[in-house]
Amino acid sequence: MRVIACGLAVAGLFAASACAAGRPPEASAAGASPAANATAAERPAPTGPAAPPGVPALTPDQAQSALIGEADLGVPWTAGDSTATWHDGLLKAVAGQPDCQRLLDALYADELLEPAGPHAVAVLDDGDDDAQLRYQIYSGHAADVDRTLAWLRTVPGSCGQFTAQTTSAGTETVQVADSGLPAVGEARQGLRVTLTAQPSQDEDPTTLTVDIAVVRVGDDAIVLTAGALGTLPAHTTEEVLGLGVQRLAQAREQGRAQA
């Protein structure tokens, strides 16, 4: 399948709380919906300088220009304007372990970072593979991004495999592994999360694969989440991140030239 096509949308893919500012939110109580967790807007904003002296913060326009645009992409991706069909059924779930619940909440909300400055989002759909990709640019605090990266690195060890109770698809088995990102940006971490549910004995198992990637470039960050029923298109994450880091660097160069 060819990689990547058309369009942007400032809309959502995955949706409930996350590990933000390197300090993931408290896990949901047993049986509680992940939506009950504090949202990014309800949590205190990080403090501290957004950028070293002499390095201007990314502006909203620059953040928008750093997104992956339709001129960069090819079929079968199109602009996304709604939540993926598998979103609530497989990502809204309760786990017994607090750290694993934080991960599920982050997947549901797609809020791995808390906006501390300009924030821009692009959403793409691949109808051929029932896949959805959410690409975000954050500008804020390098230390906050690094704390999030440090937490993500611990997740394969603490939550390599666990079970969770979904709201509509029964019990699912969740497996988490380091995805081994290419050497892009200044710091990075990726995870591959596989969620498999079998609602009843008479139904075939349903498998959702989600790739998570956070890449820091100075004080800025790229956050990519891509999910698909079955197998994600090969090399999608690597190719999008490689192009994305170049696009972010170009936006920064333009900002310096205009300063």
Domains of the chain: 61-258 (3.40.1000.70)
Q: One digit per residue, pLDDT tens: the chain, 259 residues?
A: 443 433 333 333 333 333 333 444 444 433 444 444 443 433 443 433 344 445 567 899 999 999 986 667 678 888 887 788 888 889 999 999 999 999 999 999 888 998 888 999 999 988 888 889 999 999 988 999 999 999 999 999 999 999 999 988 889 999 999 999 999 999 999 999 999 998 777 778 899 999 999 999 999 999 999 999 977 777 888 989 999 999 999 888 876 656 5
Q: Judge contact between 99 and 221, C-beta under 8 A.
A: no
**Token digits of residue 93:** 């779930």
Its sign, for the CA torsion 51, 54, 183, 227, is positive
Q: What is the pLDDT of residue 255?
A: 64
Dist. CA 253–CA 251, nearest whole Å: 5
Residue 9 phi, psi (nearest 5)? -155, 140
pTM over 0.85: no
- From CA 27, how far away is CA 148, in angstroms rounded? 16
